[in-house]
Structures are given as C-alpha cells and as structure tokens.
Structure 1
C-alpha cells in the first residue's frame, strides 16, 4: 500500500468519531477513512461495513475505548479486525507496527517550538509510513515539516472550512483528515 498515492487520489479523509457518521463516510467519494474514536464493542462492525464498500481503513489504536494503547492492543486489532493500518501517537506502537508490516501513521500535536523540534526528531527516528500533524490550522508549520521530512504529511484538527483545507494543501499537506462531514465531498 502506497499511502502517498492514496492521498493523491483522496486528499480529504473522513475521520469518524462515532458510528453516526458511518453512513456519510460510506457515501463519501474518499477511498480512505480514519476511525479516530470507537470502542471494543463497535470497532469490528464499523470496519467491516467500511471494508464492504471498498474503503481503506486506518484505526486510531490509542482511541479505542476498552483497548490498551500498547503493542498488545495493536496486535489485537491486527489479528481480529480487518483494518488496513493504524494511527497512533505512541512511539513503541509505531516500532511494533513496522515490525509486523502494518502501515502506520504517527500523529503529532505541535504546540510550541519544543514540540516542533521533537516531532521532527521522532519522525526521523520512527520512520512511520506517514505523519499526521495537529492542529491543521498552521500552514507555516505544515510547510516546515513537509520540507524537513520525506514522508506523506496529513493534517487535521480544527479544520472546519474549505479555506482551511486549501491552506493546508497549499502548505504541502498531502491529506486532510476532518470530522466535518460538509468537507468530505470537496
């Protein structure tokens, strides 16, 4: 799976935070979907419905209620859920996923110059398949990250207008994840 090619075809990524958004995600033109919140009782059903419609599904492993955000949690997801990849903020889970040949997007929150510096260092050390930078309303920072790493950069968080999407894409982001359903059809 080449994440960069998928993002070229699908720069807007529906991000599901509940199963009420599932219908709209299934109807969206995007072939990739991020599940950013779920629980052990509904994750299998949500992924199954998305996969049935041919969607590429990445699950935010840290945000599955009832599942430990550890290597065991990733192993459970991979062995019991038909996902295509994981999203995580945890460095150990990135290394574990890479060892198991599971595509992984590492998520970073950039709050200040210290977190920016650490983010770049961790990206270079961890070598995830792609990175997601939050919040997504920082075109200048997105551009700097894109210039410093040779990985697909996705951005998300607080993106709720078409202008936010366009600014992030102009800054170099290859994908935008958003829970804002109105933007899924751009």
Structure 2
C-alpha cells in the first residue's frame, strides 16, 4: 500500500455530501445493546446502514444489513428514496437469508427509518431486539460504515448510466464481496465462508 500510494495508484475516497441520517425526530430511540458485546457466532447481531450511490440519472439510496461476525451482507435494497418502506426490504431479505434461529440483535443509527413503526414491527415479529447508537455517533456503527466504504470505494467506482444498470452492478458486487473478497479481520477468509463454518478465532479489527 505504501508503494501504491507513492505512485498515486490508490483509489481516493469520495467525500460524503449527502446526508442519510435524520435522528432529530420524536419516535422512540432504543438503547445501545452491543457496547460490551463480544461477537462469538454468526447472526448474533446484524448492523444496518443507508448510503447514497449516484447514477447519471439521479441519486439513489442503498440500504444494507450485514452480519457482524462474518461481515456477510445479508440483505440489501436500492431505491430512489429513503422511505421506511424501502429500507425495511433490506431487512426482510436479511431475515430470509438467515441460517440459524438463535436470538439476535439488530443494531443501527437512530435514523427515522429504523425507528419507524414498520421497521420496528418487522423486528418484533421475528423476535429481534433493537439496538441503536447513543446519539449521532458513527463510531458506534463503525462496521456498517466500513462495509459501505468497501462497496463504494472498491466496487462501485464507476458511475452507471441508469438505476437499472446500478442495480445489476450492486447485485454482482455484493456477490463478489460475500464470496470472493477475503478480509484481514477474518484471517483472510471470505464472509460467506466464515458465515457457514463453525466460529473461528478472529482478529479484532473492524
């Protein structure tokens, strides 16, 4: 990486100018349940976040739900707005893709979508506890932010012409991320490999 940097060959991260979190609302916020939690198994808790992705048509919004243990993206949905109805579709996919029935926590920021009745009702329906950051503190949802960064800066580096093209690119990118991209924090294994194997002793890096 030092050599690549010296040759100006590293991908430069784009600055985020689009706000995707509105935590100033009257809806109920939930306490942070994962502050002292040690991750020991897949589907112990999911982390969720929303990020923006642009095509030449417009700005789109990508909702992601990731397993904290394996770093596997369990659910996603691309939409043209950040409505709770669209964001909950990523959660629905993630729940459908579960391979265990163990108790689970869902962690997110305190955004309006995650506090909404439709989102919280979906969690309650599946017996999933809700956990949120203490105020607007991105470091308390660092893993979700990290996954956003990997997708946007390693895979979605070219602007698509249309939302349909972008949707296909995201599907391909997530498949590659889950099945082919090794993680240093997973002892250079892929998310899908870790998700479907017995727990391993992993590095502590995000």
Q: Same fold (TM over 0.5)?
A: no
The answer to which structure has the higher helix fraction is 1
**Whose radius of gyration is greater, 1 or 2?**
2
The answer to which structure has the higher strand fraction is 1
